[in-house]
């Protein structure tokens, strides 16, 4: 996963040019390698733009047109490759993966979702889709990749690989490691797994997740994929202190983040429903990806903020100005309101609209970075505005001593507002609170500004929950119809299980049975015994019932739960056995345990069904 992060950084600059002597480097590292420590625009001699390779050096219309064509062409090539890999090799490799991970950790089984092919294709597809310039992130898919690794390695240890409950403990720790690698936030990863991903999180799982995230953080620091010698992705160094009056704009950022997040969830879910029900879009994911990539690249090129990678833009918005003037006029007080303000406003609108259509397409795509980007743009706009207000007050004769400060030094830091805004919008979209605050201070290394981040996050949470209770992941779980019972939800039901459950009646219908008796028999609890039932008994059970699955018990006399088997798995296993095993007949005994006796000479062969059984934990066995 660390190699993936480096490759994404390299490919993100591939749209604009190539390093002349080291083609594997991105623009920043290419210029560093050529000793161009300080460079701006075309000052880097080692970086070759695509029009230069066609002998076009003048910054005229032809040059800009060629650069625009190459920008779009590389974006289309990489996104098309990503969607082709997903469609052909691993359909489960698309999307974020966090909604499905939440369902898996709550007990739902999605076979193949955490398999090796999903891991391989999502790793490659994530590099390509991130490098294409689409408005998506890599952090959510990295959680999915980490869980794939945890699932694959769990089969090396039968204690975990053959027990679904213990395997989910490994997946909880894997989710923490995924966030630790994606953001460089080990503690935030553990809290993310606790607050957002995991359904059941005992104390032993917490310290195991902590250890797993710790190892991931150490490896991240050792590999140093970005060459910055820092684990924080967007490291900032603010020398100023925030004032109490600034809590008002911080709260406004939280208010805006909650509203923007709710609007995004509403619009994205409506579009996802339309995509799901549309034969034109649902049946042609490749064309949809290509169209969205074409629109994104064609429009992004003309704005200096959207043209660069989301990570570079966020870092620039977080940075402090000090005394220099940067290339995008963010710190030039004569141009900040006229040029940069308009560019930022256009970037915010474009990011919001295009991310609605991008999140959910059939390529690996996350939502953390686009949400942080939208929040950082919003915060920077508000920071510029507040800074201008302070400047106007200071220019007024007889102003209060409260507004006396060194402009650009300790008055207002627009980068701080960008950081707080990023937390506000991300909180409005995901509805995270504690883990989000910790991730933000680990992401930026700014422990001093936890309180402003907490204020914005709480206001974002309150406003968002007031509009809609569900975050983006819960909304997609509901959209896809996954069986998920949210542990954070409130369910005001007073009925207990004994009032709605039926005991097994253990009698057969006869010719004189009434319709009510038949309905009662149809609705009784149907179970499968661990050993003793024949293939014919199982086929008869499938014909007489329409349940989606059956509990497997020790015996009819000892109703101790062993596990659960789905209707589809039984049907496929029986159908396959009938076709491929000649000595498996109707009278063959089905075994859901490891102890299978040898078949008698001339007798029917036993039917081994242990692999399709989802085991329950030993703790649950004691409660049945």
**Positions of the chain with pLDDT under 50:** 2-11, 37-39, 41, 323-326, 408, 505, 513-516, 518-519, 521-522, 617-624
- What pLDDT sits at residue 158? 84
- What pLDDT sits at residue 568? 87
- What pLDDT sits at residue 187? 92
Phi, psi of 538, deg, nearest 5: -65, -40
User: For residue 591, what are the β-bridge partners?
Assistant: 531, 608
- What pLDDT sits at residue 444? 83
Task: Estimate to the nearest angstrom the gap between the alpha carbon of 81 and the chain centroid.
Answer: 21
Q: What is the 3-state secondary structure (H, E, C) of 544-591?
A: HCCCCEEEEECCCCCCCEEEEEEHHHHHHHHHHHHHHCCCCCCCCEEE
List, in order, residues 6 or more apart from 39 with CB less than 8 Å away. 31
Rounded-to-integer distance, Cα 621 and Cα 618, Å:
5
Instruction: Tell the residue number behind the tokens 């390529």, with chain if given.
Output: 363
Nearest-5° Cα angle at 312, 139 to 473: 25
User: Could you read off the pLDDT of 251-285 as tens digits, one per residue?
Assistant: 999 999 999 999 999 999 999 999 988 888 878 89
Other beta carbons within 10 Å of 325: 14
Instruction: Tell the residue number behind the tokens 């409506």, with chain if given.
Output: 270
Sign of the CA dihedral running 315, 316, 321, 322 = positive
Q: Are 172 and 197 in contact (CB under 8 A)?
A: yes
- What pLDDT sits at residue 55? 66
- Nearest Cα neighbor of 214 from 185, 194, 183 is 185
- What pLDDT sits at residue 372? 94
User: Could you read off the pLDDT of 36-76 as tens digits, one per residue?
Assistant: 544 454 556 677 776 666 666 667 678 788 888 988 999 99
* pTM as predicted: 0.79
CA distances from 572 to 155, 327, 328, 545, 584 (A): 23, 63, 61, 16, 14
List, in order, residues 6 or more apart from 206 with CB less than 8 Å away. 190, 194
Rounded-to-integer distance, Cα 305 and Cα 292, Å:
19
Residue 149 tokens read as: 């690794």
- What pLDDT sits at residue 341? 83
Indicate the SS3 state at residue 298.
helix
DSSP H or E run through 154: helix 139-154
- Nearest Cα neighbor of 486 from 199, 168, 193 is 199
User: For residue 17, what are the β-bridge partners?
Assistant: 49
Q: Are 220 and 442 in contact (CB under 8 A)?
A: no
Q: Are 300 and 133 in contact (CB under 8 A)?
A: yes
- What pLDDT sits at residue 82? 95
Rounded-to-integer distance, Cα 149 and Cα 161, Å:
12
Q: What is the number of residues in the chain?
A: 624
């Amino acid at each position: 996963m660390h190699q993936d992060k480096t490759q994404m950084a390299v490919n993100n600059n591939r749209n604009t040019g190539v390093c002349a002597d080291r083609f594997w480097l991105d623009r920043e590292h290419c210029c560093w390698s050529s000793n161009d420590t300080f460079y701006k625009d075309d000052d880097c001699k080692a970086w070759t733009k695509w029009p230069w390779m066609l002998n076009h050096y003048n910054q005229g219309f032809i040059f800009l047109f060629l650069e625009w064509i190459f920008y779009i062409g590389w974006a289309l090539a990489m996104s098309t490759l990503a969607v082709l890999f997903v469609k052909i090799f691993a359909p489960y490799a698309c999307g974020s993966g966090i909604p499905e991970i939440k369902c898996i950790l709550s007990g739902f089984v999605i076979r193949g979702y955490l398999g090796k092919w999903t891991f391989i294709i999502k790793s490659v597809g994530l590099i390509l889709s991130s490098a294409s310039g689409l408005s998506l992130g890599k952090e959510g898919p990295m959680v999915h990749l980490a869980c794939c690794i945890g699932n694959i390695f769990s089969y090396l240890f039968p204690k975990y690989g053959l027990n679904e409950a213990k395997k989910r403990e490994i997946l909880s720790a894997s989710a923490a490691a995924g966030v630790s690698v994606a953001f460089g936030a080990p503690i935030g990863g553990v809290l993310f797994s606790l607050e957002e991903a995991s359904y059941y999180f005992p104390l032993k799982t917490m310290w195991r997740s902590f250890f797993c995230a710790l190892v991931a953080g150490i490896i991240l620091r050792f590999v140093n994929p970005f060459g910055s010698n820092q684990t924080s992705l967007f490291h900032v160094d603010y020398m100023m202190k925030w004032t109490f009056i600034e809590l008002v704009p911080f709260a406004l950022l939280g208010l805006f983040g909650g509203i923007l997040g709710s609007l995004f969830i509403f619009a994205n879910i409506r579009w996802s429903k339309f995509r799901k029900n549309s034969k034109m879009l649902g049946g042609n994911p490749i064309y949809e990806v290509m169209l969205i990539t074409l629109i994104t690249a064609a429009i992004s090129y003309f704005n200096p903020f959207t043209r660069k990678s989301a990570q570079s833009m966020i870092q620039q918005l977080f940075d402090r100005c000090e005394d220099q003037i940067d290339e995008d006029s963010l710190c030039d007080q004569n141009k900040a309101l006229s040029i940069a303000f308009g560019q930022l406003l256009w970037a915010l609108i474009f990011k919001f609209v295009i991310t609605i259509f991008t999140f959910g397409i059939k390529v690996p795509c996350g939502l953390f970075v686009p949400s942080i980007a939208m929040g950082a743009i919003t915060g920077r706009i508000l920071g510029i505005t507040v800074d201008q207000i302070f400047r106007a007050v200071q220019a007024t004769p007889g102003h209060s001593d409260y507004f006396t400060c060194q402009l650009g030094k300790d008055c207002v830091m627009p980068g701080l507002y960008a950081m707080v805004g990023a937390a506000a919008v991300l909180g409005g979209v995901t509805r995270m609170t504690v883990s989000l605050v910790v991730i933000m201070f680990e992401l930026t290394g700014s422990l001093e500004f936890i309180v402003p981040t907490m204020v914005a996050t709480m206001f974002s949470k309150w406003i968002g929950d007031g509009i809609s209770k569900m975050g983006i992941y819960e909304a997609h779980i509901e959209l896809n119809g996954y069986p998920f019972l949210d542990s954070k939800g409130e369910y005001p039901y007073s009925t207990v299980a004994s009032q709605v459950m039926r005991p097994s009646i253990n009698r057969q219908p006869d010719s004189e049975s009434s319709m009510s008796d038949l309905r009662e028999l149809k609705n009784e609890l149907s179970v499968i015994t661990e050993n003793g039932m024949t293939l014919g008994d199982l086929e008869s059970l499938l014909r007489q019932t329409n349940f989606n699955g059956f509990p497997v018990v020790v015996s009819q006399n000892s109703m101790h739960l062993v596990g659960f088997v789905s209707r589809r798995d039984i049907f496929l296993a029986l159908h396959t056995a009938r076709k491929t095993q000649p000595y498996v007949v109707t009278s063959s005994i089905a075994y859901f345990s490891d102890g299978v006796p040898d078949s008698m000479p001339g007798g029917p062969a036993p039917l081994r069904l242990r692999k399709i059984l989802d085991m329950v934990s030993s703790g649950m066995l004691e409660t049945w």
